[in-house]
Amino acid sequence: MNIRIGFLHNRRNLKVKFKGNYSVSGLEGRVTDRTVAGRSYELNLLDSVPAEHQWYEKLDTFFDITKMESYRQKYDPDEISTRTVKAGKKIGLSDNFEYWIMKKAPDMSGKIYPSGDFRYKKLVKKEADGEIGFSGARYRKKIVFIPENRNCSFSVEGVRVGIDFHWDHTEDLEYSGGLEVMIDNSGGLTAINIVDLEDYLASVNSSEMRNDNNIEMLKAQTVAARSTVLATMGKHHFEEGFDLCSDDHCQCYQGIGKISELSLRVAEETKGEVLMFDSRFADARYSKICGGVTERYSACWEDRDLPYLASFYDRHNGEEVVSEMSENETRTFIDNTENDCFCNTFRHKLPKSLSFCKDLFRWEVSVSIVDIEKNLKIKFGKEIGEIKNIEAVQRGRSGRIINLIVSGSDGVVIIGKELNVRRLLSDTHLPSSAFYITRDHECFILKGAGWGHGVGLCQIGAQIMGESGYDYKQILKHYYRGASVRRTDGI
Ligand SMILES: [Zn+2]
Ligand SMILES: [Zn+2]
């Protein structure tokens, strides 16, 4: 099965070198040209008109068409004030469709709003148009390169990797499969790699796999990644022309140059295995270190929860956490370094390649008022004078801050959800939003737990589980409660 990964966006031109022969076609699908192996080509944006958009507020999401229809019948049978959008993809004999009930909203460009960036979506009113120049010819809207066989590959110059992270840089990357270059919604060029799902997974996992990692942890992670791809395809980048992006927003993908033997082996040994819940692909999120308690989906993303992404103590048969952590409970939890959980890096030994996680089970960071003011302005476009205080107004069940209130001399702003909180309080990303705050003159001291959003599988916990004799199916059962591993041959 092929998936479409968008890896370059809003470009004026790009340089591609093909290894092997590719057929070239345009919008109509007719072959118009063939590439010469080993030669470099340039693609240029000749002219374009960006797409026209309308902002919408997402009122509700349904997996089930019958439930969606009965909701619509009850509240807006003629779709006068709302509109229903079907998002997702057909996947073999199955699908991952979901239905969004949307209501027209004012222009939200450049605005920040509490509870993250998931409530408002820009839908296309009129598609972008334009022409792409390639090898002396003009192609309207898109140009597609299809390889003659599986040994073909192509490389692209200057792909931006690690956007907004401290390792942000550009690289020349090599890809297998096909290439599509299209006029994107902004009127620039977007490059899409049309790649086999298993090749994609082997590449995605390579960046996280080292030879000294526990093999059961790696297998669990691969099954989780495969499930998440199938569960989220066509939703994160709705109406953008591709299934997933190549950055951390979806999953970091850097082409075939990065595939290791180990990740190929792990993908092969778990081939076709996915996590399912209620006959649907599970959106099996994972992060580095939960810190002792896992978090729920709604604390980090949309205001809805998935039953298999619950909050519980990360230990054998760890009990479920059923209410939000209070300020005092968060302090007690974070100060307790003796916590008997799988990912307690003070109690368990880590392999060399993961030793950098040693100090992330519990951590302490100092952030200056000046830096918060700067980040608020640069990253969120807000100026509220001199910062007087920052305070958690809502926490999740793992203690992670969902909404943070920032009070300044000229106003107040709420920042949410967890990823935005982390972006505000660090030049790159704070390890997690599970922290409590104390004041020290011109700085705030943040004492925290874990690294990442803490939802789903905890990679360090899974590593320790694997070393303690659990197999990958037991690891998956521990982190995704109620979900089961199935084989989906033929997708
Ligand atoms: Zn993405
Ligand atoms: Zn953990």
Model confidence pLDDT, tens digit, residues 276-327: 999 899 999 999 999 999 999 999 988 889 999 999 999 999 999 999 999 9
Tokens of 33: 């040209």
Q: Which ligand is nearest to the CA of 236?
A: 1
Amino acid symbol at 405:
I
Q: Quote the ligand 1 centre to 419 CA distance (angstroms).
A: 14
Query: Model's pTM, two decimal places?
Result: 0.89
pLDDT at 156 over 90: yes
Q: Quote the ligand 1 centre to 246 CA distance (angstroms).
A: 7
Average per-residue pLDDT for the chain: 92
Q: Which ligand is nearest to the CA of 295?
A: 2
pLDDT at 113 over 60: no
Exposed/middle/buried for residue 304 (C-beta within 10 Å: 0-12, 13-18, 19+): exposed
Residue 61: how many CA atoms within 13 Å on its side-chain side?
Answer: 16
- How far, in Å, CA of 109 to CA of 102, rounded? 17
Q: Quote the ligand 1 centre to 451 CA distance (angstroms).
A: 20
What pLDDT is recorded for position 109? 76
What are the backbone angles phi and psi of residue 477, rounded to the nearest 5°? Answer: -65, -35
% of residues, the chain, pLDDT over 90: 74
pLDDT digits (tens, 9 = 90+) for 47-79: 999 999 999 998 889 988 999 999 888 888 888
CB 210 within 8 A of CB 353: yes
35-44, 71-80, 131-140, 327-336: segment of lowest average pLDDT: 71-80
Q: Please compute the mean of the pLDDT values over residues 466-474 and round it to a whole number.
A: 97
Q: Quote the ligand 2 centre to 459 CA distance (angstroms).
A: 7
% of residues, the chain, pLDDT over 70: 96
Q: Which ligand is nearest to the CA of 117?
A: 1
What pLDDT is recorded for position 490? 58
What pLDDT is recorded for position 186? 93
Query: Around ion ligand 2, which residues have CB less than 5 A away?
Result: 290, 314, 343, 458, 461
What pLDDT is recorded for position 111? 67
Q: Which ligand is nearest to the CA of 343?
A: 2
Give the 3-state secondary structure of the chain: CEEEEEEEEEECEEEEEEECCEEEECCCCCEEEECCCCCEEEEEEEEEECCEEEEEEEEEEECCHHHHHHHHHHHCCCCCCEEEEEECCEECCEECCEEEEEEECCCCCCCCCCCCCCCEEEEEEECCEEEEEECCEEEECEEEEEECCCCCEEEEEEEEECCCCCCCEEEEEEEECEEEEEECCCCCEEEEEEEEHHHHHHHHHHCCCCCCCCHHHHHHHHHHHHHHHHHHCCCCCCCCCCCEECCCCCCCCCCHHHCCHHHHHHHHHCCCEEEEECCEECCCCEECECCCECECHHHCCCCCCCCCCCCEECCCCCCECCCCCCHHHHHHHHHCCCCCCCCCCCCCCCCHHHHHHHHHCEEEEEEEHHHHHHHHHHHHCCCCCCEEEEEEEEECCCCCEEEEEEEECCEEEEEECHHHHHHHCCCCCCCCCCEEEEEECCEEEEEEECECCCECEEHHHHHHHHHCCCCHHHHHHHHCCCCEEEECCCC
Q: Quote the ligand 1 centre to 7 CA distance (angstroms).
A: 10
pLDDT at 210 over 90: no
Q: Quote the ligand 1 centre to 179 CA distance (angstroms).
A: 18
Q: Quote the ligand 2 centre to 253 CA distance (angstroms).
A: 25
Q: Quote the ligand 2 centre to 321 CA distance (angstroms).
A: 14
**Length of the chain, in residues:** 491
What pLDDT is recorded for position 115? 46
Q: Which ligand is nearest to the CA of 243?
A: 1
Q: Which ligand is nearest to the CA of 7?
A: 1
Q: Quote the ligand 2 centre to 451 CA distance (angstroms).
A: 9
Q: Which ligand is nearest to the CA of 217?
A: 2
pLDDT digits (tens, 9 = 90+) for 387-434: 999 999 999 999 999 999 999 999 999 998 998 999 999 988 799 999
What pLDDT is recorded for position 166? 62
pLDDT at 106 over 90: no
Q: Quote the ligand 2 centre to 458 CA distance (angstroms).
A: 5
